[in-house]
Structure 1
């Protein structure tokens, strides 16, 4: 929500503009003054007439999420509040948060992809507007402050490969994309995760395909990427997740090792240092964070779910109840504290599997009706 600083800044910028116009045309200056007055009035006007702003905010938060794109067009105050981090906090206090699964799925023709959103039952779905820019691969996806963030990657246009440093944000309340600050280093096939409200991008490959050890962090309040201490060795094709205020990076390859690395790089934002463990997964084809635990599936063992507990750095292997091919392959999703396994084979015999870690022994696995419209490429869960 715009505060006094917002108004002062707009007035200052507008005054600078209008003072130049005064020297040229008095009539234009009068029109400018009216416009300036309108801008200040719009920023300072109450959210709802005759109501305190805290009551008004609660009222807006009670509206179902599907109505927010239209509501955001009512006035600048409404739009600014709906876009803010405070809005999610108010909706949480009002008990109005809705959890949706956002899936990047392959088009029916197999020539492109699109994002679609599914509700917790899988019965409601809608298609998101196309992502800006050319189609990309090797990018990272993160949820930050209830927004979907798509980071970097590479595209191939007319046979030419271009590595990106772009950061795009999708706002589910406004149903629109916007471009944010670019990274310092273009990269793809890198690891990324959110820790303490900040986005970390680790390693990957650069513009010439070289392995990277560089790491940078994104501050959403400043809309800025900053370089931090690099990894001890380059690493690409890896993945990351944040838990208990630390960043864990595992999987992938390094130019200093043969094959896939079992090393886990652990970064402490508090100490600004990296440490290493030797107990990681390799050749991971799917991963997701379930509560405070990491769920992985390795290419060499697609019949078992590997669950990592950062509390004691231990792994638990859980058999996956699948018959038939031993290499079905899955993509993971999270809804209502449960793990969804979407099969990568388009066969009616394979259903979406659901793993509930809190179910009674022997009842952890079920089949589920939730299914994307096409082949699942990646997913994120947004609760807003």
Structure 2
């Protein structure tokens, strides 16, 4: 059984809506160079003569130590002062990894406690399949976890949490938070133009797009906007042309696909919209695409896959040529993965995080190329295996998941 180290020490964090909302004291301290961060500090110079690993050159030893699972840092930093200096701070650890060009995938999962509703981010190391925590996100105590929209710029190691809803007032938020893995801290970004919850979001060419959702007066929105993460400013884009909240969204072929979801069996045909950032316009989603979108989406091999919440939890893939969905060969989602679940992907693998944070890893395989009328059609299969979560996570439910590289 895996053991998870969770710190019991928490720094105070300003609540959303406070007049002094900026960064928590913990985050402000992280921006100041200390002896754990500054490589030219007196402490590092004082212990420079000590080898990191006796018998190995420091560059080789450093390359080894920077591959240690974060979960093991607590025990490893007790080895000596230099190990403590390197492993005693996640900020320093990930910064040194960046300096050496190390880049591995990490799955960030927004979770909430089933009984208390308390939210927290947990991180799964996709190399060693061990978990660790990050600083608490500065937000109100009573929020609806599903009201947030989370997106990431994986190559930059940044995560954005937008909007949300105060659960005791049904009040949407316009707050935007950014987490940077190399700095291991949250910052408060410029607010969205429109407060919203349960909306569509996606990243296209490094720009963060949001659209639709529920407004402050509980009506559905048609407004959309875009964030330039470098400049930190929001700008309006073309309205959707229809008021709708979003069940799911995906970025495919440089366009943002938005679906409002469905009732099963269908009483009305679900709506869907597609945004083209080059032309700044919206168009109706193809009928087959929106009606077959019956689950959570990911894009693998440039194709849109759905982990269906019906059809025996099978995996489906969209065929744009015929505007239809094909069932992916292989077994359905493993029975250990219970709804609600969150889905993301990296390379050719799909990660489905279920209740209690058990994770199903689906390897997508290209089976063959079938001859069509005029074009070749890709065929896929999936192989699943499950990474069981520690018992400490038995009361946690996932709300969102994002892959970052560091």
What is the aligned counterpart of 1:301 among 294, 304, 311?
311
Q: Distance in 2 between matches of 1:295 and 1:154?
A: 29
Asked if the contact 1:247–1:267 (Cα under 8 Å) also holds between the matched residues in 2, the reply is yes
Asked if the contact 1:352–1:371 (Cα under 8 Å) also holds between the matched residues in 2, the reply is yes
Asked if the contact 2:287–2:323 (Cα under 8 Å) also holds between the matched residues in 1, the reply is no
Asked if the contact 1:68–1:174 (Cα under 8 Å) also holds between the matched residues in 2, the reply is no
2:30 is matched with which residue? none
Larger radius of gyration: 1
Q: Distance in 1 between matches of 2:310 and 2:121?
A: 29
1:58-97 paired onto structure 2 within 5 Å: 64=66, 70=89, 95-97=101-103
Q: Distance in 2 between matches of 1:252 and 1:324?
A: 24
Asked if 1:218 is matched to 2:231, the reply is no
Q: Distance in 2 between matches of 1:192 and 1:363?
A: 28
Quote how far apart the aligned CAs of 1:109 are: 4.8
Quote how far apart the aligned CAs of 1:355 are: 1.9
Superposed CA RMSD in Å reads 3.9
Structure 1 unaligned blocks of 5 or more: 1-45, 50-57, 74-78
Pair 335,245 (structure 1): closer, same or farther in 2 beyond 3 Å? closer
Quote how far apart the aligned CAs of 1:314 are: 4.5
Q: Distance in 1 between matches of 2:135 and 2:215?
A: 29
Cα deviation 1:146-183 (Å, max 9, x = unaligned): 21110001013xx4332100100111112111100100
2:170 is matched with which residue? 161
Number of residue pairs aligned between Structure 1 and Structure 2: 307
1:1-384 paired onto structure 2 within 5 Å: 64=66, 70=89, 95-107=101-113, 109-121=115-127, 123-135=129-141, 136-137=143-144, 138-144=147-153, 145-156=156-167, 159-252=168-261, 259=268, 261=270, 263-276=271-284, 277-282=286-291, 284-309=294-319, 313-318=323-328, 320-321=331-332, 330-344=341-355, 352-358=359-365, 364-369=382-387, 371=389, 373=393, 374-384=396-406
Asked if the contact 1:100–1:120 (Cα under 8 Å) also holds between the matched residues in 2, the reply is yes
Alignment TM-score, normalising by the size of structure 1: 0.67
Asked if the contact 1:331–1:376 (Cα under 8 Å) also holds between the matched residues in 2, the reply is yes
Quote how far apart the aligned CAs of 1:110 are: 4.7
SS in 2 for 1:279: helix
Quote how far apart the aligned CAs of 1:70 are: 4.2
Q: Distance in 1 between matches of 2:250 and 2:297?
A: 9
Q: Distance in 1 between matches of 2:341 and 2:240?
A: 30
Structure 2 unaligned blocks of 5 or more: 1-37, 42-58, 71-85, 369-379
SS in 1 for 2:117: coil
Asked if the contact 2:159–2:179 (Cα under 8 Å) also holds between the matched residues in 1, the reply is yes
Alignment TM-score, normalising by the size of structure 2: 0.64
